Amino acid sequence: MNRLLTEPRLARADDLFEALVEAHRELDEAASDRLHARLVFVLANHIGDEAVVLEALAVARAAALE
């Protein structure tokens, strides 16, 4: 089974963050939520490993609750 990779791997994380912010520009809250949900499903499909996606979900939720 694959494991979730959590060490930094993005060479230009700040640029990616800016692209995410830009993708939400001028969207209302409902559209922004739909964008987030669709992005998660697109990336989950790309990953293709349900266990890894569920681990990522748990890590992200724990961080949101801190």
> What are the mean pLDDT values of the chain's consecutive 10-residue runs (66 residues total)?
90 97 98 97 96 96 95
Domain count, the chain: 1
Q: Classify residue 40: in a domain, yes or no.
A: yes
The model's pTM is 0.83
Q: Classify residue 18: in a domain, yes or no.
A: no
- Res 22: pLDDT: 98
- Res 1: pLDDT: 62
Rg (CA), the chain: 13
Q: Classify residue 3: in a domain, yes or no.
A: no
Q: Classify residue 45: in a domain, yes or no.
A: yes
- Res 2: pLDDT: 84
35 burial (CB, 10 Å; 0-12 / 13-18 / 19+) is middle
CA distance 10 to 14: 9
Q: Classify residue 4: in a domain, yes or no.
A: no
Q: Classify residue 46: in a domain, yes or no.
A: yes
- Res 61: pLDDT: 96
Range of the domain at 52: 29-66
